[in-house]
Amino acid sequence: MTRALTILGIETSCDETAAAVLRYEEGRVTLLADIIRTQLEEHAPYRGVVPEIAARAHAELADLTVAAAMQAAGISYDALDGVAATAGPGLIGGVLVGLMTGKAVAQAAGVPFIPVNHLEGHALSPRLSADCPFPYLLLLVSGGHCQFLEVRGLGDYRRLGSTIDDAVGEAFDKVAKLMGLGFPGGPAVERLAAAGNPKAYDFPRPLLNRPGLEMSFAGLKSAVARVAASAQTEGQKADICASFQAAICDVLAEKSRRALAAFDTGADDKRFVVAGGVAANKAIRAALERAAEENGARLIAPPLRHCTDNAAMIALAGAERLAAGLVGGADGLDAGSRPRWPLDEASALSTPIYGGGHKGAKA
């Protein structure tokens, strides 16, 4: 029997200031508080996340959000066994705010600080609420990331393939921007797509005919840009959104089929997890569900709240690391921030990241 751990988690790598408290015992998770303060309103006028505005907002909100989470959990700082915060990848200003806040709380409470890779948070997010033992295949699709990862165990990840240019969420955001649909683009494009004809435009399915798991979405976005300029009516816009979304679904489903075929665990039940903000998209989920079924796998999608950026997943990564004795030197206090931080450093070195994203490394 290992003892129960109570962990505070902090997430500030993009445009959500979030703090969560959870209790972790023998792999079981009880969420005591889970606060997410989004900065959507601050960034909306610019139709995208502005790093300086994000950093300032995090600086104003971080300690208040931590205090609110501790109050909601109904525990004192003495009851904490550790504090975890995102140390990267992400926008450096926000990451620094979360990291310093986390270290300060950890030091004041006299407990270890656990620096967490944001991508590890996403990778472990299904374990917050589902029975999802290692290993499993993960498709991470968000505004900054688009990659297939084999999650073999805690801290043991193998990147199977990733985008070579834009992340999927980024493509949704850019298409929405082209058509004046507001920010964030994903939900707006999905809403409009529901009223459109997915076959109206024959948009490219980049890299679909090439073997492997690399993906590309920049060309698709350019193809949309060529027709979006002349779209006059709501009907035309809906057709563009539906056709764009259909192209994304086709690419993700086909690459998922290949990834599932390559992910051979030898066991009968394969788990396929989709996480990240784009996992909110119902058409994409349905396409992935079919791909999973065809390959004898079970699709697991965390609840929406834990698909997008949140601190519960950071607290969980912290708890699993602490339970496994994986805390850095000086009780974590010497951890630095890493704006770029691939989960699978070996693959990142042998196949380097292609280009930067608006939220850091995509691979």
Interface ranges with ligand KG4 (CB under 6 A): 14, 142-144, 169-170, 172-173, 184-187, 190, 276-278, 280-281, 308-309, 359
Report strand pairing: 146-153 vs 156-162: antiparallel
Amino acid at residue number 181: L
* Least Å from the CB of residue 199 to ligand KG4: 20
Q: How many residues bind Zn ion (CB under 5 A)?
A: 2
Pick between residue 14 and residue 228 the one whose CB is nearest to Zn ion.
Answer: 14
- The site partner of 359 among ligand KG4, Zn ion, none (C-beta below 5 to 8 Å per kind) is ligand KG4
Q: How far apart are CA 145 and CA 177, in angstroms?
A: 19
Residue whose C-alpha is closest to residue 292's, from 327, 314, 263, 318: 263
> Residue 278: how many CA atoms within 13 Å on its side-chain side?
25
Closest CB to Zn ion among 22 and 119? 119
Q: Which is nearer to ligand KG4, 56 or 285 (CB)?
A: 285
Which one of ligand KG4, Zn ion, none is in contact with 281 (Cβ closer than 5 to 8 A by kind)?
ligand KG4
Burial class (CB in 10 A: 0-12, 13-18, 19+), 277: buried
Q: How far is the CB of 280 from ligand KG4 (least distance, A)?
A: 4
In whole angstroms, how large is the CA radius of gyration of the chain?
20
Closest distance between ligand KG4 and the C-beta of residue 75, in Å?
A: 28
Q: Which is closer to ligand KG4, CB of 313 or CB of 319?
A: 313
165 binds Zn ion (CB under 5 A): no
Encoding tokens for residue 128? 């917050």
Query: Closest Cα to residue 272, out of 214, 285, 167?
Result: 285
Burial category of 49 from C-beta neighbours within 10 Å (exposed 0-12, middle 13-18, buried 19 and up): buried
Of 35 and 80, the one with the shorter C-beta distance to Zn ion is 35
**What are the helix (H) ranges across the chain?**
40-43, 51-73, 92-109, 118-124, 168-178, 185-193, 218-228, 234-262, 282-294, 304-307, 312-323, 345-350
The structure tokens listed for 166 are: 């834009």
| Site for Zn ion contains 173 (CB under 5 A) | no
Binding Zn ion (rule: CB under 5 A), the pick from 6, 86, 125, 142 is 142
Contact 283, 303 (CB under 8 A): no
Give min distance, CB of 134 to ligand KG4, in A. 22
- Interacting partner of 173 out of Zn ion, ligand KG4, none (Cβ under 5 to 8 A depending on kind): ligand KG4
CB closer to Zn ion out of 109 and 116: 116
Which one of ligand KG4, Zn ion, none interacts with residue 339, CB within 5 to 8 A by kind?
Answer: none
The least distance separating ligand KG4 from the CB of residue 79, rounded to whole angstroms, comes to 30
Residue 333 or 340 with smaller CB distance to ligand KG4: 340
Residue nearest Zn ion by beta-carbon distance: 309
Residue numbers 282-311 binding Zn ion by CB under 5 A: 309
Cα(360)–Cα(114) distance, integer angstroms: 21
Q: In 3D, which of 70, 137, 71, 82 has the Cα closest to residue 106? A: 82
Q: List residues binding Zn ion (CB under 5 A).
A: 142, 309
